[in-house]
Amino acid sequence: DPDKDTEWNDILRKKGILPPKENQEEQERAKEDEQLEILQKSLVKTYEDMTLEELEENEDEFNEEDEKAIEMYRQQRLAEMKAAQMKNKFGEVLEISGKDYVQEVTKAGKGIWVVLHLYKQGIPLCALINQHLSGLAKKFRDVKFIKAISTTCIPNYPDKNLPTIFVYLEGDIRAQFIGPLVFGGMNLTRDELEWKISESGAIKTDLEENPRKQIQDQLMSSIRACIPTRGESDSEDD
């Protein structure tokens, strides 16, 4: 055993075959310190891995320093849970009437975006937008999407203004889209509607550019392809 104090080991140390005993003790202390540090880190990791219920169950086993660390983790976990709940608070299009407007729009809450669609049965574009909004509500669960028959919210609201979308933040109107021309008619896609609403700031789209621009560019390319060049036109005249 190289760690024992024997005459033979002393000779080996003098010859440099075994390291000096003092160095061995330092190495052992360093190794113990390293193991202690690993143990402490693993203990902290245990706190991080615990659920709130587990933290409360093991509360009696922690010392004062542990409790301070645990309280920090508890607050962090509560904040994370609250943020997750807010992020997934909605997820579908809510139908309201005029009497619900103040509660659902004006008093929606701090930092809550509201997208309100005024529509009427029997208008195809309104039905299409309701369908698109249903998909967007599932995608952007932190945004409140609501719909209402136009005249239940605004008496005598003209049908020529339908569909209408109002975008609110904390009761203040931030954007409005009024009438069929604004939406481009029945060719409106969900991506186009998503882009349009995202321009108000209500949703954070993952679309890189306006889908309508792509369609317009393709249309212009098709038109150019159908128009003969000057040389071709002169040749035909000859």
CATH annotation of 94-199: 3.40.30.10
User: How buried is residue 72: exposed, middle or buried, by Cβ count under 10 Å (0-12/13-18/19+)?
Assistant: exposed
User: How buried is residue 32: exposed, middle or buried, by Cβ count under 10 Å (0-12/13-18/19+)?
Assistant: exposed
pLDDT tops 60 at residue 42:
no
Per-residue burial over 38-54, b = 16 or more CB atoms within 10 Å of its CB, e = otherwise = eeeeeeeeebeebeeee
Q: Which residues contact 153 (CB under 8 A, 6 or more apart)?
A: 96, 97, 98, 101, 116, 118
pTM above 0.95, yes or no: no
pLDDT over 90 percentage in the chain: 45
pLDDT at 175 (0 to 100): 96
Domain ranges of the chain: 94-199
pLDDT tops 80 at residue 116:
yes
The stretch 30-51 carries a mean pLDDT of 63
Give the position of tokens 């309104």.
126
Tell me how far apart the alpha carbons of residues 35 and 41 are, in angstroms, rounded to a whole number. Answer: 10
pLDDT at 30 (0 to 100): 76
pLDDT at 211 (0 to 100): 87
Strands 113-119 and 93-95: unpaired
Pair of tokens at residue 155: 């008496």
Give the position of tokens 């203990």.
43
The stretch 117-133 carries a mean pLDDT of 97
Pair of tokens at residue 78: 């509560």
SS3 state at 166: strand
pLDDT tops 80 at residue 65:
no
Pair of tokens at residue 97: 């009437």
Pair of tokens at residue 7: 């005459």
34 or 19, greater pLDDT:
34
113 or 218, greater pLDDT:
113
Closest among 91, 92, 94, 119 to 105, alpha carbons compared = 94
The stretch 211-219 carries a mean pLDDT of 60
Q: How confident is the model at residue 219 (pLDDT cuts 50, 70, 90)?
A: very low
The stretch 168-184 carries a mean pLDDT of 95
Average pLDDT value for the chain: 79
pLDDT at 59 (0 to 100): 64
54 or 134, greater pLDDT:
134
pLDDT at 35 (0 to 100): 74
The stretch 195-217 carries a mean pLDDT of 84
pLDDT tops 60 at residue 51:
yes
SS3 assignment for 101-114: HHHHHHCCCCCCEE
